[in-house]
Amino acid sequence: MSVEVEGDLIRFSYGGARACVARKGCTLVSFVVNGDEYLYLSEAANLSSKSSTPVRGGMPLIFPAFGKSYLESLKAVQQHGFVRNMAWDFVIAEVLTERTVARFRLSHRQCENEQQYISWCQFYGQRIEFELSMVFELFPDHITVDTSLVNENVSELEFQFLYHTYFRVPCVRDMYITGLKGAKYLDRLQTRYRLDTSPMLKVEEQTDKMYKLGEANREIDILSGNYNVRLTASENLSDLVVWNPWKEGAAKMKDFEPKSSYRNMCCVEFGAVEGTTLAKGGRWRCQHTITII
């Protein structure tokens, strides 16, 4: 059980679990339980807080925009937003009785030279004053990420949010995802809405699906032989994206290395991508847990 700060990386452990967070984007870049790594990280990923590119892999935080937004207030913000590009403040990490906790923070003051933030403010005609905080709680067999947003001054602040988690899997063709039966989804490659009627989802080609989760879809499992992960999230994260670039998509991303590693990863991402409105002075909070089963 320990906490180590190595430049822009904060490493912490508890029992047989270890985690590492990069200040760049407050990105969880490693989650290890009993010697096994459960997050994918590109060999070309740049973890420096001074890098101009986000981390390829781990768990980047998507805010305030997910994709090409239908929300007028977010149309000037690029896909996946800007907080994943920012150097967050590391507040504290401490070993407690049953877990190790690490806290990070980002405010509008750190974003004032970021062009996407400036463009976002222009829509509202004022500086957007906000504070984001992330708390990582590491247990022997799971990690919980708790995120909160405070809107300090805008009458109604619109945003999208997503934990863009890259999972490392032994072989994506042998992997299947359960817990999505009965959920409606948008196949973003075919621009078609469908209803998932299968007890399991296989990923055997380029995949980009966005699910709307119901009461029966609050527990998602990623299963592959001895590799078994359970995902849960707070009810306000009612969207789930499943993504794999496959061979063609990996070839187009210069920071995706090795190119063949699409075979050993799959993004399964809880979020609130349809848009959320937060009143002035309000606090929005969400939580996501990854458990090894």
Handedness of CA 197, 199, 204, 205 (dihedral sign): positive
Residue 79 assigned to a binding site: yes
Catalytic residue among 142, 158, 269, 288: 269
Other beta carbons less than 10 A from residue 273's beta carbon: 22
Catalytic residue among 80, 108, 142, 164: 164
Give the separation between CA 141 and CA 288, rounded to whole angstroms: 14
Say which amino acid occupies 284: W
Give the separation between CA 97 and CA 154, rounded to whole angstroms: 39
Give the separation between CA 1 and CA 17, rounded to whole angstroms: 9
Per the CB < 8 A criterion, the answer to whether 221 and 240 are in contact is no
| 156 counts as catalytic | no
| 269 counts as catalytic | yes
Ramachandran assignment for 58, one of left (phi > 0), alpha (psi -120 to 50 degrees), beta (any other): left
DSSP H helical segments within 125-199, as ranges? Answer: none
**Cα atoms in the Cβ-side hemisphere of radius 13 Å centred on 119:** 14
Q: DSSP states of 232-244 as a string?
A: EE-TT--EEEEEE
CA–CA distance from 137 to each of 1, 85, 98, 102, 293 (Å)?
13, 23, 10, 7, 17
Residue 84 assigned to a binding site: yes
Other beta carbons less than 10 A from residue 174's beta carbon: 14
Residue 190 assigned to a binding site: no
For the annotated catalytic residues, the residue numbers are 164, 269
Annotated binding-site residue numbers for substrate: 56, 79, 84
